[in-house]
Every structure is written in C-alpha cells, then in structure tokens.
Amino acid sequence: MLLSFKTSNFKSFLDEVELKMTPAPKIKGMDYSIIKQTSNKKEIKALSTSIIYGSNASGKTNIVSAMDVFRNIILNGNIRNREKIATPDYAVWRLELIPNFNSLKQEPTTFDIEFNIEDVLVKYGISIDLGNFLAGEYHRKIIREILIIDNKEIYERKEKEISFEEKNLKKYIPDNIDLNQVEALAINNLDDEELFLCNGFKNLYSKTLYDKITRWIGQNFIVAFRSNDLTITDLTNGKEELTRYYNKIAKLIGTSTERIELVDDEKGNQIMLSVFAKLTESNNLNAVPSEIVESLGTFRFLGLFPIFKRALDIGATLVMDELDASINPMIIISLINIFHDEQINKNGAQLIFNTHNPIFLNKNIVRRDEIKFVEKNDTTRVSELYALSDFGTSGEGSVRKNEDYLKNYYTNKYGAIKFIDLSEVFKSKE
C-alpha cells in the first residue's frame, strides 16, 4: 500500500509537495476507510481513498503525471528518452518536459515514495538533473538516490559516489559476498543516467529485494493518466469472466441491449459488442460495437471495470486521472464505498483520483484527510497541494467535523477554486 509520494520541480510544482496516504492525527470517525498492514511486526495504517480537487490548469493532472513518470523511470532503470510507449503522457518518454517551465534556476527534479509490500516498508528516492524546461540536448545525471528498508538506510548515492550501511545490508545479501570488493565494483560502474537500484544493486547485491520493490511498482502501483483514453484493449483479463461481469453491470445500469459480449479481432484485441434482438420473423440477434450504440459513460465504465477488479484482487494502489468524466457520480460513490468496505476490499487496495465533481465533498462519504486540493498561484504559476485536514479543527480558518464541506468549497474557504466569467469573451468583438 502507498503511504506517501513526494515530488518537486515537476511541471507546475516547483517546491516539494507530498500526497499523504496516511491518516491525519486527531481525525476521528470512518475507521472503515483505513486499511492496516504490518511491517517488521508493527502495524501500519493508510487511507483507502484520496480525492483531489482543483480548478482547470491548477495541476491536478500533474500529480498523476508525476507518479506515471516516476513509475516508468524505475521500470526502465534510467533517465533517457525513449520511443513513445503505451501512455498518453508525453512526459514519460520526453523527460525534458518535466522541469517547471517558469523557473530560471536549474533545479533538480525529485521523487520520493514510501510503500509497504509483503511486510517490508520501502522508502526510495531519486533526484535528477534534467536542466531547464525543454533542454533536450542537456547531459542528464542522477545526483541522488537513496534506499531505506524498514526505516534502516541501505545505501545512498550522490552522483558518482555511493555509501552503504553494511549492518543493514547484510540481511539481504548472500553470506559469501565480499562487500569491499563489490562496493568498489559498484562505484566504478555507476552511470550518470542509470539507476543504481536497477543495475548495480540488482546485479551485485540483492536481486530478491530489487524484484520485490519493482514488482510493487510495476504491478501494484497502477497509474492511469487520462483514463478517458483507456479501452478494453488496454487491459488483460479472462474473456469469459469479464463477459459475466459486464452483463451484471449492464443490468444494474439498465442498458437497452440484450447482452454484452467480448470477441477477439484479427489482432487478438478484445472488442466489446452490444447484442440487440432483431425484430424479424427469425428473431435473430444483431451484434454492434458497444462504442457505437452505448452512451459514453456506459462504454467508459465497462472499459475501466477490469482495472478496478484487478486492483481489488491484488490489493493495488490505483491512481486515476479524469476517472469520473461522463460517468454517473453514483457509480463513483459506489466505487468509493467498495474501497472502504473491508469485506470486499480484503487485500487493502487504494483508489486515488482527481475530479471537478463536488458531490464527493461530503463528510458521510470520505474523511477530511481523504480530500486533497491543488491550487495554482496566478502570479508565479506554481501549484501547491494540501489536504482538508491541514486546516485543523480550531482557530482561524479551521474546519470542524460537522461543517458543510461543499458549501465551504464554493465560498472559497479552502481555495483551489476559480470563479470564471466568460461573458466578456463573448461580448468582445476583437
């Protein structure tokens, strides 16, 4: 489960921001929305959901993008550009798009993550020098890299130097390894653009620990940038199993189709078909691609369903950009309740998404620490991230448990909202 994600100098975020997935102190109630795991025989708590609010162009999507970019850097093991891959996030394959475009200083971009997997608490961070915004020919380099396991430092890299905590490292490496010899080899083979975790540490120290870390990042950290672009072909699941689920959902939603079927096209991709009764004497059935006849919301949700099922099945952290676009908010509320339900969410899955819909600003749906805001400064054009729980419960600007969150949001008590009057645009003749 994800406990924290931090980034700095990433797109509209200049200073470090942190998306916290741990319960805020002194927030009471709705304990069913807190998931619990153990690490080194100690209990760890995390929020099962987080909802991110903010106006258009505030930076909400940049939070998702930062996670998407970080995830792909780890899985690729380096900070080099690559051919376009299966994501609509251009920053994943063109890293020169990452640095804040208003900063004149050459600041490093940082990523830090903390998560728990298989009773192991992992903290990993990197700091990379990408130059300024759009510096495509710049010589990039990794200037910091640190790995901490169960709150004990394993190694820290600073450019071409690296130090190890031998007493903490011995637990994860074979007894016959000569640490002095291996350390010299590791230092001599450091590359400016390659992560030590994915190269030297993996090959010279502990492939087992490397596999555990990258397995969580690759399989349990699911990031869907612009999820409105996702289709059934992006996801893998059993065709017969999906068909059964789709027809249950179709009945709940109330579609006018006879049933939903999945078929393979010539390339082996799964195509969703809506089957209609043909009103003729033969009473044959006609199948039409669902994308043509179903509403956009119905088609989107059916296409996204496998990713929710997979997250719940394996206890993944699911990060969704534009999740509720075209989808009935009551469906989203049902999903939130499912992630809050320990009888259904038995493996501790988490759901993080951004939205404009204020219906979720409700103390009966989510806790205060599950509500996040992103606001961009109109002068500096730099974004900041904060939680509703950061306001506290007493003193000036406080938010009490029984207050109307939605009303407060629309009266600009929390910020992260912009009132826009387009009438002058339409009145203007120039």
The C-alpha atoms of residue 424 and residue 212 are separated, in whole angstroms, by 56
Q: What is the pTM of this model?
A: 0.93
pLDDT digits (tens, 9 = 90+) for 30-53: 889 999 998 888 899 999 999 999
DSSP label at residue 108: P
DSSP H stretches of helix in 16-165: 60-76, 90-93
Q: Among candidates 356, 322, 340, which has minimal Cα distance to 64?
A: 322
The pLDDT confidence band at residue 239, using thresholds 50, 70 and 90, is confident
Maximum alpha-carbon separation in the chain: 84
pLDDT higher at 123 or 301:
123
Q: Answer yes or no: is pLDDT of 25 > 50.
A: yes
- For residue 62, how many other CB atoms are within 10 A of its CB? 26
Entry field: residues in the chain:
430
pLDDT at 236 over 60: no
Dihedral over alpha carbons 88, 48, 43, 115 (to 10 degrees): 10
Return d(Cα 346, Cα 368) in angstroms, integer.
Answer: 23
pLDDT grade, residue 281 (50/70/90)? Answer: low
